[in-house]
Structure 1
Amino acid sequence: MPHARVEELPMETINVGLESSFNEVCKCFEDAIVGIIGLYGMGGVGKTTLLKKFNNDFLTTRSHDEFDVVIWVVVSQESDVVKVQEVIRNKLHIPDEDWLNKKMEERAIVIFNILKKKKYVLLLDDIWKRFDLLKLGIPNPGSQNGSRVIFITQSEEVCSNMGAHRSIKVECLTPERALELFQEKVGDETLNCHPSIPYLAKEVVAECRGTASCSYYCWEGYG
């Protein structure tokens, strides 16, 4: 069986408040001079869901022939280069004889020599600080190779430090949109089963400050 260029990721339905941010990412992605795109915003606002949708859309809305490989990596606060290299290695199906018993710098060369011949998309979730792409073995993305790197972070400063050509802020939901999301999750029957519940719903929405976390609270605390 041929190796899949992109793997579908499990995800929640993207809420209406993220549609404008998603469309902006798609627009930047189509710009040939934009190689690195950074998405930033407070935790719980829906950045990871947005990026997962972007990944999954390669299965339906983008040509499979347009890019050779789409790589999804969760970086996390530790920013462990070796672990990230392992994820990339598995996606590129690098054999043991080219990988084992090599140092981090040698593995970076192996990755680099493979990706420099490909048109790739690298999606990095949960970056907390500047992450050296060259140390991973990632060739510079841009108009010369047509490749892209998209990452998400909570900090606009990280976008700058990563050399993002475009930085997109993922905004919190408005109170009205957040209340709509809450109602969608709990359902009208639950929301109207007691006179105090609509009032409590507004309190939950205010507590979550327009983040997607209101769906968590409605199940764990108020559902």
Structure 2
Amino acid sequence: MTRLNVFNINLPTELNPPGSETILKISTKYLEGLKDVESTKAYIISEIKNVKTHVVIGLHGMGGIGKTTLMQEINNEFEKDPHKRFTFVIMAIVSDSPNIKKLQNQIGERVGLNIQNIESETVRASRLLKRLKNESIVIILDDIWNAHDLSTIGIPRGNGENKCCKIVLTTRNEDVCKQMNADPIIHMACLNHNQA
């Protein structure tokens, strides 16, 4: 992997001009009509919209089962939300060896926060927390392999920092959901023979 040299220039960190899209529609290969998948989708969306639901919603299941495709479809569903409950819906892939700065940049860019010239992950996380804590946001973190402390990334938790940020995570490992205090934890099962 090529490492880029980043020069830390002390430019002011400021919001980009207004106009950031609430939702970036993602091209997906989602197949409608699969009963089990549709019911999982409906359940996750209802939990995201439910103000009483815990901050982190976990979805786990074996690799290749369609978790990413389902999350892409859920991301796109919020474009149709007539109530516009959330200021932003953001989907980011974490993977087995996450690049925290890239993840921070991706989230920051979506909410109009320019943190690319800040070298310190801690300072970047602090700026993100400050920016996100007053927003109603859905953040979908796809393909998490290990538990992460979301506040070190800059994502607010429901421990007084923010009650409006909903995080949906997908993982192959149910223990990751438990370690990240997901509630509810949803198991995505394999399709039955007829649906497959």
TM-score scaled to structure 1, two decimals? 0.73
**3-state DSSP of counterpart to 1:176:** coil
Matched, 1:120 2:140: no
**Identical pairs, percent:** 29
Q: Aligned runs of 1:1-223 on 2, under 5 Å? A: 2-15=19-32, 16=34, 17-34=36-53, 35-64=55-84, 66-95=85-114, 99-141=116-158, 145-178=163-196
Name which of structure 1's ranges 11-20 and 121-130 shifts more when overlaid on structure 2: 11-20
| Cα separation, 2, equivalents of 1:30 and 1:93 | 24
Structure index of larger Rg: 1
| Cα separation, 2, equivalents of 1:82 and 1:59 | 27
Deviation per residue, 1:6-40 (Å, 9 max, x gap): 11001013340411211221232233232110000
Is the contact between residue 33 and residue 142 of structure 1 (CA under 8 Å) also seen in structure 2?
A: no
Letter in 1 for 2:195: R
Letter in 2 for 1:47: K
TM-score scaled to structure 2, two decimals? 0.82
| Cα separation, 2, equivalents of 1:37 and 1:121 | 11
Listed as ranges, the gaps of 5+ residues in structure 1 are 179-223
**3-state DSSP of counterpart to 1:90:** helix
- 1:59 and 1:142, CA in 2 relative to 1: closer, same or farther beyond 3 A? farther
Pairs aligned (count): 175
Listed as ranges, the gaps of 5+ residues in structure 2 are 1-17
| Cα separation, 2, equivalents of 1:52 and 1:140 | 23
| Cα separation, 2, equivalents of 1:11 and 1:148 | 22
